[in-house]
Structure 1
């Protein structure tokens, strides 16, 4: 640890606020760490959504002005911004990255010390099934630089040892770089504050409903159980399993003071609502608005049981959020 105290460390990319989480823990340990954001981070994965103390962390959050690989124009422009990439990484002794980080480090002629992927099988390595000619060309350009960067990376951190996750690393001959480490998903050292002063009215209504409910089963997973994204072989969330199991419990149990709390978002939201109606459990389901993680963490203090994804080898961020609250 002492040898790291004299190093400047960069965490590039912030999917699921994972690197914002890791940055705070590392800062708590006295390390000199900055979070480097892509110019097009998803709006609900920005640090403001994950802390009530944003001003405290602002000095350590930097905007790179670089694309995360999803925007084709911004990504192709990176080919002409090698000096900008080099200048962005120049102050740092150690770089850890997710997303398009390996490709960026390769373009900036900088070795990536650690790749912490958020996607199954690594980002930008899996070709979608339906693509037009332009999309195919764009995919292979990204993939070329991503593979170049991954091959020069010091280590790849993933706890998922399933074949579907490791197959791409095997194909590009980097299996020896795998280190079995989980993603740092949740920062649970936020101060206890009177959140009623800050929290939205819609979220306060959820809190009130939870307090009235003797037993609650809470799931803030997006509804994604019929749709299949082009690069996946099966649905990833499988919310229908939870809904059917809850309906079966309601049928068998004499305990009526229980409610299922679900969140209003996801491509299969309407399908979930139709399934709930068919199963006749509408009165025992409460629909919550979309919430930021800092709001969800307040909600979880009043939850009896939590339910994460049912479609993968391991839980995603929702499961770690439950565990961090002792649910």
Structure 2
């Protein structure tokens, strides 16, 4: 793919495998993209966790920096040397901070959450760590303020006002990026499969209703944007099972998040152990077969989001989403939104589950409409805008875009 006079694009960091997915789409379009992994990347978001092939090894590189504790002492020349050959920088995490320290500008910031939340707040730290924490926050704020573009849907989410304040000088692209590379999940068995498939099949074969809720377990106050409402779903599941004792129903959870223990205890307290199946934390390529087998995918019930990993994974799988969405409540037309089972309280969630079992064909149609929406309004829209930007930058630099 490399051209001597071609535009070279660097994706910095890979939280949630977001950049890996977007880079794959753009490489399919002929752009020369590489993904640079930071030193503090989470193992379960490594590119190998989201692909059935080894092709990625030719364009993925691990660099020697990226963590908060490195920012204070790193020599800017190290950053400059690692990035010297690239023309466009797309980042998340602390990418704005490191580029700022090196005197570079981030072309496009794609925030995932904490990079514009906790990472931009001056906070208490141990005495030996105070200087590093302050330095990181300072450069992150400054780097964000200098970012040319912020790609963020900016819906009703709790992050909206903060990112507008931090990036007041930036151009906003108010659409979601395609976080999930849908082209490999049409048939996971053909594409390499997963050793978890038989385990999920065992659940599917013994259930009239299979609901998958594979997001993090985070309990707490609604002021925390990470809170998911797992307890609300568990209570709703209790109500639904009480009302439908003849239905063989299974709720699939993943042991992921800081409050797994609390969720397990609540399941036990409500006598739901027989109808709830737990699986260990796993890679996206392993969890996707479960979604493809499921009837419904449950997302979040405290905060309102239109996009996100759990949501987009469900849409790619073609399954109806059970979730809370203010945007869906406000919308007078569904032209630019996918249909969902909208609910927030345990009573509402249980009612939506009841609605599905009483009209499964409608549920299947909701899932297929969501799948179409993802391809048209997320994938196609993002590729059009990114392609346009790369072509504009290539023209400015006198280079070939692809």
Which interval holds the TM-score relative to the shorter structure?
Answer: 0.7 to 0.9
- Structure 2 equivalent of residue 265 of structure 1: 256
- Structure 2 equivalent of residue 244 of structure 1: 235
Q: Would the alpha carbon gap of residues 197 and 109 (structure 1) be closer, same or farther in structure 2, given more than 3 Å must change?
A: closer
2:303 is aligned with 1:302: no
Q: Would the alpha carbon gap of residues 56 and 173 (structure 1) be closer, same or farther in structure 2, given more than 3 Å must change?
A: closer
- Structure 2 equivalent of residue 317 of structure 1: 309
Q: Of 149, 153, 167, which aligns to 1:155?
A: 149
Q: Offset of 1:41 from its aligned partner? A: 0.6
**Residues 159 and 181 in structure 1, CA contact (< 8 A), matched pair in contact too:** yes
C-alpha separation in 2, matches of 1:106 and 1:310: 37
- Structure 2 equivalent of residue 194 of structure 1: 189
Q: Secondary structure at the match of 1:306?
A: strand
2:75 is aligned with 1:65: no
Return the TM-score normalized by structure 1: 0.87
The within-5 A match list for 1:142-221 is 142-162=136-156, 164-172=158-166, 174=168, 176-190=170-184, 192=187, 194=189, 199-200=194-195, 204-221=198-215
2:17 is aligned with 1:17: yes
Q: Offset of 1:21 from its aligned partner? A: 0.3
C-alpha separation in 1, matches of 2:13 and 2:83: 13
Q: Secondary structure at the match of 1:77?
A: coil
C-alpha separation in 1, matches of 2:169 and 2:212: 37
- Structure 1: runs of 5 or more not aligned: none
Q: Offset of 1:166 from its aligned partner? A: 3.3
Q: Offset of 1:178 from its aligned partner? A: 2.7
Residue by residue, what CA displacement relative to the aligned partner does 1:4-49 show, whole Å, maximum 9, x if unpaired? x941111111000000000100011111111111122111110011
**Residues 68 and 99 in structure 1, CA contact (< 8 A), matched pair in contact too:** no
**Residues 125 and 168 in structure 1, CA contact (< 8 A), matched pair in contact too:** no
Indicate the larger mover: 16-25 or 261-270.
261-270
- Structure 2: runs of 5 or more not aligned: 320-402
Q: Offset of 1:183 from its aligned partner? A: 3.3
Cα RMSD for the two superposed structures: 2.5
- Structure 1 equivalent of residue 394 of structure 2: none
**Residues 217 and 257 in structure 2, CA contact (< 8 A), matched pair in contact too:** yes
C-alpha separation in 2, matches of 1:67 and 1:196: 32
**Residues 120 and 164 in structure 1, CA contact (< 8 A), matched pair in contact too:** no
C-alpha separation in 2, matches of 1:194 and 1:235: 33
Q: Of 249, 270, 284, which aligns to 1:279?
A: 270
Q: Would the alpha carbon gap of residues 302 and 161 (structure 1) be closer, same or farther in structure 2, given more than 3 Å must change?
A: closer
Return the TM-score normalized by structure 2: 0.71
C-alpha separation in 2, matches of 1:33 and 1:235: 31
C-alpha separation in 2, matches of 1:176 and 1:48: 33
C-alpha separation in 1, matches of 2:120 and 2:169: 14
**Residues 95 and 114 in structure 1, CA contact (< 8 A), matched pair in contact too:** yes
Q: Would the alpha carbon gap of residues 168 and 137 (structure 1) be closer, same or farther in structure 2, given more than 3 Å must change?
A: farther
Q: Of 77, 90, 101, which aligns to 2:73?
A: 77
Q: Secondary structure at the match of 1:309?
A: coil
